[in-house]
Amino acid sequence: MSELHSTVEPVGGFSEKGFYLREFRGRTVGVLLPPAVEDVDRELLRVFDELRGNATWVIAVASPGRRLAAFDCQVIPSGTARLEGTVWRELRERGRVVVESEQAAFETLLDVAARLALHKVVRLADLDGVADAAGRRRPFVDLDELESIRAEAVPELRQILFEIERLLQVGVPNVNLCTPAGMHDELFTYSGSGTLFTRERYVVVRRLGLDDYDAADDLIARGVAERFLAPRSPEAIDRLLPDSFGAFVEGRHLAGIGALIVPPGARGGEVASLYTVTRFTGQGLGAHLVRFAVKRARDRNLAFVYACTTSERVGSWFRGLGFTPVDHDLLPAEKWEGYDAERRRLVSCFRREV
């Protein structure tokens, strides 16, 4: 098993789009506009409208002479005096602006991104991101990986990757590469449609703080809804969260959760409630979470960690992380107190010394 992940649509009050909109709110996104095509412009305008309704500003950069009437906003020449202030005031008024390039459009985008310290840039192209050696789309690439990928790319992609590298180097934290038609899914869904390039390593695992509890509660609800996680009462979740930790992308985006549950006086702790969102499949988040749990167990002078699952696939994944199948009786007795007898019959147990 390569990863623990979500496979179904959200239910109840949980929304993938809402998850991302919270991330973008109050920030500014730069977009390099492709050549004018009516259907493309209509799709982009739909995304821009959703961002504006979310209090997310959009700065679009266009080539000279591009048709821009559909975007219904002020067009500002890139050579405008006091460009920063002019853009800022127009964004406050309308929520989006187009900067028309007087040179190569990318050079203008690079200049605007650096001068305005943009949080995110979307590089639109006729490409669904980049792929690995097996032809599978890579949803995430960090700056350290980008150079080797660029060296092996075909010329058209190599130029685009060089541009993305320059954006990251001038300080843009993250750059999305996708098609115009895929921009909505790339920005607002876990599965995405392209590749997100990040300046820093994109996965950091740390203990959850109070400000992370809402996002963690959402992920737990999602995991329960698809029957990947066992249902927990609000009281059980309240007990779980203080022992939980998360895998964060870009230092803020909670993309996976886990917990290390240690009964009082026990020599071992349970690695529980592991869950990561679909977009991060294949990125090793589950393994990052397990390694963090093992380190926490070691820091607490525990002798072992263990995990339980009814899934053969998940069991194989745990074996790949150094866990060994064991009998139920080799786990702390507290694990089985009040445990459903039928579920216990189906559960496989795995243990790893620390």
What is the overall mean pLDDT for the chain?
87
**C-alpha span between 307 and 323 (Å, rounded):** 8
Amino acid, single-letter form, for residue 155: P
Q: What is the pTM of this model?
A: 0.67
Q: Which residues contact 113 (CB under 8 A, 6 or more apart)?
A: 30, 121, 167, 170, 171, 172
pLDDT (0 to 100) of residue 5: 40
Tokens of 8: 């179904």
Question: Sheet containing 324-326: which strands, arranged edge to edge?
Answer: 203-207, 244-249, 253-261, 268-276, 304-309, 348-353, 324-326
**C-alpha span between 102 and 62 (Å, rounded):** 9
Of residues 352 and 219, more confidence is placed in: 352
pLDDT (0 to 100) of residue 18: 78
Taking alpha carbons only, the member of 267, 3, 20, 281 closest to residue 139 is 281
In this model, does residue 4 exceed pLDDT 70? no
pLDDT (0 to 100) of residue 194: 92
Each residue's pLDDT tens digit, 38-55: 888 999 999 999 999 999
Q: 178 and 189 in contact (C-beta within 8 Å)?
A: no
DSSP 193-251: SSEEEESS-SEEEEE--GGGHHHHHHHHHHHHHTTSS----HHHHHHHGGGEEEEEETT
**C-alpha span between 106 and 87 (Å, rounded):** 18
Of residues 264 and 7, more confidence is placed in: 264
pLDDT (0 to 100) of residue 168: 95
Each residue's pLDDT tens digit, 189-227: 867 899 989 887 667 899 999 989 998 998 898 888 877
Half-sphere exposure of 286 (CA within 13 A, CB side): 23
If you search the block for the tokens 């026990």, which residue do you land on?
266
